[in-house]
Amino acid sequence: MVFRVFLLLLFAPVFTQSLDAIFNDDVLGLIVFKAGLHDPKDKLSTWNEDAEYPCDWVGIKCDPRSKRVTEVALDGFSLSGHIGRGLLRLQFLQVLSLSKNNFSGPINTSLTHIGTLQVLDLSENNFTGAIPDEMFQQCGSLRVVSFAKNSLMGRIPDSLSYCSTLVAVNFSSNQLSGKLPPGMWFSRGLQSLDLSENLLEAEIPEGIQNLYDVRVVNLRRNRFTGQIPRDIGGNLLLRSLDLSDNLFSGSLPESMQRLGLCSSLDVHGNLLTGEIPDWIGELRNLKNLDLSRNELSGSIPPSIGNIQSLKKLNLSTNLLTGSLPDSISNCKNLSVLDVSQNLLTGGFPFKLDTRGVSLSGNGVDESAEYTSLPATTLYNNLQVMDISSNSLSGEIPANLGVLGSVESLNMSRNLFFGSIPASIGVLKYTQFLDLSNNRLNGSIPPEIGVAISLKDLKLDKNFLSGNIPTQIGACSNLTSLILSQNNLTGPVPPAMANLTNLEHVDLSLNNLSGSLPKELANLSRLVYFNISHNHLEGELPVGGFFNTIPLASVSGNPSLCGSIVNDSCPSVHPKPIVLNPNSSNPAGAASSSDHQHKRIILSISSLIAIGAAAFIAIGVMTITLLNIHVRSSMAHSAPALTLSGGEDFSCSPTADPNYGKLVMFSGDANFFTGAHALLNKDSELGRGGFGVVYRTVLRDGRSVAIKKLTASGLMKSQDDFEREVKTLGKIWHPNLVKLEGYYWTSSLQLLIYEFVPSGSLYKHLHDADERNSLTWRQRFNIILGMAKGLSYLHQMGVVHYNLKSTNVLLDGSGEAKVGDFGLARLLPMLDRCILSSKIQSALGYMAPEFACRTVKITEKCDVYGFGILVLEIITGRRPVEYMEDDVVVLCDMVRGALEENKVEKCIDGSLGGSFPPEEAIPVIKLGLICASQVPSNRPEMSEVVNILELIQCPSEGQEEIQ
């Protein structure tokens, strides 16, 4: 058979008649077809030209006797290219299904010349051009044809009417235009016709009643005009008619009353006029009736109550008048009732037991009668109630308990007054509660804390007073809390910091006072936090969203301070501690700073010992911060540091090489007083390309990690250094190791980091005594944590450059914290050579572009390192391992195993097989994609986070949360 391939290579592009005659077999046809395709996922790898029969190839079915191909189904294979003539060789083909691929070009007319073809599905591709008119002229046995969701243009071919075998036609979601062909309705066998979402126009030709077998007609979202076909009632078997979002005018045709089998009638979004006819009640099988967004007038006929099967009734946005007929309560199955945006008056149908009701935007003005909702049992099913934008008044009924199962309750834009009843606490299932734009007064009841399902709470534009109840902290699912434009007083409760899902918060235009709880900075999902126009004071929270909060969201609070409002806080923030070894007198560098602050003069003789240790090969280095005056004898080689509440970074440095400066970005000056830190081999935590890290304990018992930079010769000038470090100090994220401060002299630089107790990921994965400790779930969370940390880092415009497992730390609860980020910024320039030798020294993590001078190094180099880390975490193996006479490169090994379908074998044996493969395999693949050779093939870290969240098995995830 090899010569086939040979011939193929020679002739495939110009496949001639004579060859057709010689090689008239299915294998050849399929191979020719495959040769014209792009198969990026190698889905057709089983299609082997040496086979005698193609019957066991993927996507192929044969007649068991003749072994001739009857079905080609390649849906969702990511194939692209053109459909060549190869398929025409399949003389017994019945089903050709190529949906959800990327095929392009015009549709090959000759496909319908395969006389046996019954089903042709080319939907969800990128076919262009018109549907050729010859297409259906000889349609043989064709029964089902779908070209849905392509980019086809032009008109519906006239030939369609010749094809009497057709049962189902779907041309939806293209850009077909023009009129329907006049012979359209001659295809009498049609049972289903879907032409929705095109640009078809003009009037519908007469004769639709000829489709006597039709069950489904969908012409939704076109530009049809004129009347709804008057003879539509002749389609007695019609089950579903969708004419919505067109330009149909006139009234509902009377013949429609014969559509007794119809279960869904949707004509919303047209220009229909007239009244809703009384005969609508004849359509006894309707489950869904949507007449919304028309210009229907008159009142709602009581006969609607005869449609017992009705589940959804939407009459919204018309010009309906009168009141809702009482008979509607006969529709026992009604679950959604929407009559909003009409001119209805009168009372509510509170006898309804629907799942959803919307009466929003009417003139419904009944008040007194409904201050108390009638009997309990009636509302068991109500899940959605929208009575917004009416002129309802009266108090909110106290027995809200009857709405016990409501999920969405919208009473906004009415004239309700009085206070919010304490019974609000019974709304345990309510996710959406909108009482805004009323005249409510009194305070927000603490019982709100019992409505624990709330996601969206809107109480704005009322006259509410009193405090925001602390109990709100119990509504842990809240994402949106809108309380603006009331008269609320008191502080913003610290409990709000517990609402970790919060995204939108608006407390503006109230009388709130006190300072903002600084824990609010922990709300990592915030996108909007408006506290403007209150009487808040003190320091804005530091970190997270609050570093970039827009001025408009905080303005109108004269006593607020912080860098955002351009008003540094007098004694609160920023609170860097400045150590100036030379200024043992107040006239020193710190003199410009705040005077009321207690000045603490320190000798740190031994801190300087670190400096000296530059000369001592293996030195025991000690920092002692003593609360005593400088000893003058130390003044030269061991200058003392002055510790004071400093003013920003304004202390100007001098040229004195012994000048040292300690800046803490937050925290208390006193932390360092009397601290005694021994930086020696025993307190060493690790060392890397950039320096050695020691652990030390502050006076308050808190540990910090101090990194002594060894690349000092390469450092930037002090100004640049400080600017860069200051940038890094602003980066706050739960998955990043926080930089708390620094110490600078021209010969010695220290970075002070938060101490992360459980050590490095490397230790957990590879240290003999730690091994086997990580479960699958912990590993997954570490990967997700790293991804979140890096995503945030990139969002802040910082590239890490130095990812490796020794730089990922785990805190007490196993949460990953990425450390050592951005240090390359401290170098005078981003020199590729230095980066790769000094920083990216860790073999195996280094992105290939470091070796290629012409490729720009971007944050994608971190994505590469991340990918390698993912593989390392999952396999428990180092990125590069040296065997006796072999070198194993982890990502090559995993990639190889994946290709051989043996990737599960790579997963760390110490998991003992207890991992969910539906998570593990996608995570491995994600790791490999991140470790792509070409930077642009690697995803963004934010995408990686999204992907991981999708991969995470929902049930597993929850177990962890609880």
CB of 521 to ligand NAG, least distance (A): 15
Footprint on residues 659-678 left by ligand NAG (CB under 6 A): none
Q: Determine which residue in the list 126, 571, 637, 837 makes contact with ligand NAG, applying CB under 6 A.
A: 126
CB of 871 to ligand NAG, least distance (A): 31
Q: Which stretch binds ligand NAG (CB under 6 A): 274-282, 486-494, 712-720, 723-731?
A: 486-494
d(Cα 644, Cα 42) in Å, to the nearest integer? 67
d(Cα 317, Cα 270) in Å, to the nearest integer? 11
CB of 498 to ligand NAG, least distance (A): 4
Footprint on residues 281-300 left by ligand NAG (CB under 6 A): none
d(Cα 221, Cα 201) in Å, to the nearest integer? 10
CB of 279 to ligand NAG, least distance (A): 45
d(Cα 747, Cα 66) in Å, to the nearest integer? 86
Residue 494 vs 619, nearer CB to ligand NAG: 494
Residue 151 vs 650, nearer CB to ligand NAG: 151
> Which string of x and - marks every residue 234-253 that binds ligand NAG (by CB under 6 A)?
--------------------
Number of residues this chain uses to bind ligand NAG (CB under 6 A) = 15
The dihedral sign for the CA sequence 130, 136, 140, 144: positive
DSSP code per residue over 571-602? SSSS--EEE-TT--STTSGGGGS-SSSPPEEE
CB of 473 to ligand NAG, least distance (A): 4
Please state whether 870 falls in left (phi above 0), alpha (psi between -120 and 50) or beta.
Answer: alpha
**450 in helix, strand or coil?**
helix
CA distances from 404 to 67, 141, 381, 419, 479 (A): 63, 57, 9, 19, 22
Q: What are phi and psi of 463, to 5 degrees?
A: -120, 35
CB of 105 to ligand NAG, least distance (A): 7
CB of 543 to ligand NAG, least distance (A): 18
Does 703 engage in binding with ligand NAG (CB under 6 A)? no
Does 78 engage in binding with ligand NAG (CB under 6 A)? no
Q: Determine which residue in the list 23, 463, 528, 649 makes contact with ligand NAG, applying CB under 6 A.
A: 463
Q: Determine which residue in the list 249, 367, 477, 547 makes contact with ligand NAG, applying CB under 6 A.
A: 477
Residue 104 vs 515, nearer CB to ligand NAG: 104
CB of 172 to ligand NAG, least distance (A): 17
Q: Determine which residue in the list 104, 110, 209, 255 makes contact with ligand NAG, applying CB under 6 A.
A: 104
Non-local CB neighbours of 841 within 8 Å, separated by 6+ positions: 689
Q: Determine which residue in the list 330, 381, 465, 747 makes contact with ligand NAG, applying CB under 6 A.
A: 465
d(Cα 782, Cα 248) in Å, to the nearest integer? 58
Residue 91 vs 487, nearer CB to ligand NAG: 487
d(Cα 613, Cα 290) in Å, to the nearest integer? 82
d(Cα 99, Cα 79) in Å, to the nearest integer? 10
Q: Per the omega criterion (within 30 degrees of 0), is the bond before 574 cis?
A: yes
Residue 507 vs 679, nearer CB to ligand NAG: 507
CB of 95 to ligand NAG, least distance (A): 25
| Bridge partners for 744 per DSSP | 661, 749
Does 273 engage in binding with ligand NAG (CB under 6 A)? no
Q: Which stretch binds ligand NAG (CB under 6 A): 87-95, 487-495, 535-543, 721-729?
A: 487-495
Q: Which stretch binds ligand NAG (CB under 6 A): 233-241, 343-351, 491-499, 588-596?
A: 491-499
Q: Do the beta carbons of residue 467 and residue 443 sit within 8 Å?
A: yes
CB of 958 to ligand NAG, least distance (A): 7
HSE-CB at 223 with a 13 A cutoff on CA atoms is 10
CB of 553 to ligand NAG, least distance (A): 22
Distance from chain centroid for Cα 62: 44
Does 453 engage in binding with ligand NAG (CB under 6 A)? yes
Q: Determine which residue in the list 91, 102, 137, 718 makes contact with ligand NAG, applying CB under 6 A.
A: 102
Encode burial over 17-49: b for 16+ CB neighbours within 10 A, e otherwise.
Answer: eebeeebebbbbbbbbbbbbbebeeebbeebeb
d(Cα 456, Cα 475) in Å, to the nearest integer? 10
Q: Determine which residue in the list 374, 473, 538, 957 makes contact with ligand NAG, applying CB under 6 A.
A: 473
Residue 128 vs 673, nearer CB to ligand NAG: 128
CB of 467 to ligand NAG, least distance (A): 11
Q: Determine which residue in the list 327, 345, 479, 487 makes contact with ligand NAG, applying CB under 6 A.
A: 487
The dihedral sign for the CA sequence 550, 554, 556, 559: negative
CB of 429 to ligand NAG, least distance (A): 7
Tokens encoding 424: 């609000």
CB of 512 to ligand NAG, least distance (A): 12
CB of 468 to ligand NAG, least distance (A): 12
Residue 496 vs 693, nearer CB to ligand NAG: 496
Tokens encoding 215: 């069950």
Q: Determine which residue in the list 337, 495, 706, 752 makes contact with ligand NAG, applying CB under 6 A.
A: 495
Does 513 engage in binding with ligand NAG (CB under 6 A)? no
Residue 520 vs 664, nearer CB to ligand NAG: 520
> Whose structure tokens read 């109630």?
385
Residue 367 vs 498, nearer CB to ligand NAG: 498
**72 in helix, strand or coil?**
strand
Residue 126 vs 837, nearer CB to ligand NAG: 126
Among the listed residues 278, 290, 242, 234, the one whose alpha carbon sits nearest the alpha carbon of residue 260: 234
Footprint on residues 373-432 left by ligand NAG (CB under 6 A): none
Does 128 engage in binding with ligand NAG (CB under 6 A)? yes
Tokens encoding 383: 């899940």
Q: Which stretch binds ligand NAG (CB under 6 A): 380-388, 488-496, 563-571, 814-822?
A: 488-496
Does 452 engage in binding with ligand NAG (CB under 6 A)? yes
CB of 196 to ligand NAG, least distance (A): 20
DSSP code per residue over 417-445? EEEPPGGGGG-TT-SEEE--SSEEESB--
DSSP code per residue over 483-507? --SSEEEEPPPGGGGG-TT--EEE-
- Taking each helix axis as running N to C, give the angle between helix 26-35 and helix 2-11, from 0 to 180 degrees, rounded to the nearest 10: 50
Residue 477 vs 858, nearer CB to ligand NAG: 477
CB of 151 to ligand NAG, least distance (A): 6
Residue 103 vs 864, nearer CB to ligand NAG: 103
Question: What is the torsion angle, in degrees rounded to the nearest 10, for the CA atoms of residue 74, residue 76, residue 79 and residue 84?
Answer: 40
Rg, Å, the chain Cα set: 37
Q: Which stretch binds ligand NAG (CB under 6 A): 133-141, 197-205, 387-395, 492-500?
A: 492-500
Q: Determine which residue in the list 138, 165, 498, 795 makes contact with ligand NAG, applying CB under 6 A.
A: 498
DSSP code per residue over 350-368? TT---SEEE-TTS-----G
Residue 84 has a CB neighbour count (10 Å cut-off) of 18
Q: Do the beta carbons of residue 919 and residue 954 sit within 8 Å?
A: no
Q: Which stretch binds ligand NAG (CB under 6 A): 14-22, 493-501, 559-567, 875-883?
A: 493-501
Enumerate binding residues for ligand NAG (CB under 6 A).
102, 104, 126, 128, 452-453, 463, 465, 473, 477, 487, 489, 494-495, 498
